[in-house]
């Protein structure tokens, strides 16, 4: 390396160290191992059953472990979770994409510590052959406070492979003053 390039390489190294030091450290979520289990036939035998099972698996009281293995058995291996929210100050739409494992890792500690129950209020199913979309209004309550902390609509995309139903994706948005539950999904 010639004498001209050495100072540039050294300067680039110093800049990289300064930039990395300036980036705030993001708190990592705790990895929660999910043991793969065979699906329960009753969970995956119909559209209504698989949606019902998805609510059951994430719900439970304070200190109650979630049924993550059962939950994982409902989903296609390439499932994507997409949550939509709106920043209350800027009104910017925020889209958050997760795998099943990401969802488990970031939500398990809170759900178990505080107790979280999500229940379906009402749903509408549209099916064509072996594919379906379910719009399912929900309500989420924290057991430690007894308060409903969220309401919204989960949108399940499902397919039937000839043997069972699979959830391919789940997208949801929360109810807000400017985004009320649609009339056909109100309890």
Residue 58: give the domain boundaries. Answer: 41-185
In a domain, 100, yes or no: yes
In a domain, 76, yes or no: yes
Determine the longest span between alpha carbons in the chain, in angstroms: 75
Sheet holding 93-98, edge to edge: 93-98, 75-86, 165-174, 147-160, 131-142, 116-128
In a domain, 139, yes or no: yes
**Is-above-0.85 flag for pTM?**
no
Looking at residue 36, its pLDDT comes to 86
Which CATH number is 85's domain given?
Answer: 3.10.450.50
Looking at residue 2, its pLDDT comes to 53
Whole-number Å distance between alpha carbons of 165 and 76:
9
In a domain, 155, yes or no: yes
Per-10-residue mean pLDDT of the chain, 187 residues long, equals 45 35 49 94 98 98 97 97 94 96 96 97 98 98 96 98 98 96 96
Which tokens in the block code for residue 108?
Answer: 């398990």
Looking at residue 1, its pLDDT comes to 52
Q: Are 42 and 49 in contact (CB under 8 A)?
A: yes
Count of domains forming the chain: 1
């Amino acid at each position: 390396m010639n004498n001209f390039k050495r100072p540039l390489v050294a300067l680039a190294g110093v800049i990289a160290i300064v930039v990395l030091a300036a980036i705030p450290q993001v708190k990592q979520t705790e990895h929660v191992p999910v043991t793969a289990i065979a699906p329960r036939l009753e969970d995956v035998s119909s559209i209504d059953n698989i949606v019902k099972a998805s609510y059951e698996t994430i719900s439970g009281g304070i200190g109650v472990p979630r049924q993550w293995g059962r939950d994982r058995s409902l989903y296609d291996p390439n499932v994507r979770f997409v949550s939509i929210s709106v920043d209350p100050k800027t009104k910017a739409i925020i889209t958050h994409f997760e795998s099943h494992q990401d969802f488990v890792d970031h939500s398990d500690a809170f759900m178990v510590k505080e107790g979280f129950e999500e229940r379906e209020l009402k749903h509408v199913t549209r099916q064509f052959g072996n594919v379906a979309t379910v719009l399912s209004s929900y309500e989420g309550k924290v057991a430690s406070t007894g308060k409903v902390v969220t309401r919204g609509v989960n949108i399940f995309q499902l397919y039937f492979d000839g043997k069972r139903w699979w959830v391919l994706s789940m997208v949801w948005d929360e109810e807000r003053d400017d985004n009320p539950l649609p009339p056909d999904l109100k309890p």
